[in-house]
Amino acid sequence: MRLASGDCRVVPGSVPSGSDAKEAGCKSLSNFTGVEESIEVKCGFPRHLLPRVWSWIEPHRAKLFDDFGPQDITEFMAQWDYPAILAASWQVTIDGSVGGIVRLSECRRGVMQMQPYFPQRTFKPVVIATALEQTIQQAFAATPEARKIEWRGFEGGANLIGAIRRIGGSREALIQRGALQGGRWVPVVQMGVLREEVI
């Protein structure tokens, strides 16, 4: 599924984190109980780690993408072959190792599109929610024009949908014929997180 593009972007190096994020007006980064893992996020994702991300995606590719999504690692890498895209993507570190990536589009009309990928081992909603909360807080703090962050995906992504709900997001739409999968129309869910929910 394609991301939106527009006229404002996250500025690399301007993203607050940790105590700096709190000083910038972000809410607590530890809103959830039951998180035993150490979770950190930082802006910028190293290109050499993208094959690892594809290794998470490949076994579930048919469920994650529509018919126009990347078919192999070459097509996947080509989607990221722009420094600005990697600079506006967040690396999630869980217990000291790479545990996820959250890609954000440029801001258009006050909205950014979010595309997160996590390996199966981190698919615990509270862990994903903590990582998304930190990422979204930093993105909003660095992008004053952004008023909302959206995610669009398939109903099978229950853990991700649950994680977005945990951080204050809500289901905004269900597009019945939203994408082609295997040549058939399938529903697409749209979730949204407003700035005032996390900042």
pLDDT given at position 28: 37
Structure tokens at 154: 């398939």
Question: pLDDT tens, 107-164?
Answer: 899 999 999 999 987 777 888 999 999 999 999 999 999 999 999 999 888 889 999 9
Cα separation, 138 vs 102, whole angstroms: 12
Looking at the whole model, is its pTM more than 0.85? no
Name residue, tokens 């998304």. 132
DSSP state of 22: H
Q: How many residues in total does the chain contain?
A: 199
pLDDT given at position 26: 38
CATH topology of domain 18-147: Aminopeptidase (3.40.630)
pLDDT given at position 24: 39
Structural domain boundaries in the chain: 18-147
Direct distance between the N- and C-terminal alpha carbons of the chain, in angstroms, rounded to an integer: 28
pLDDT reading at 5 higher than 50: no
pLDDT tier at 37 (50, 70, 90 boundaries)? Answer: confident
Structure tokens at 161: 């949908």
Question: pLDDT tens, 47-61?
Answer: 999 999 999 999 999
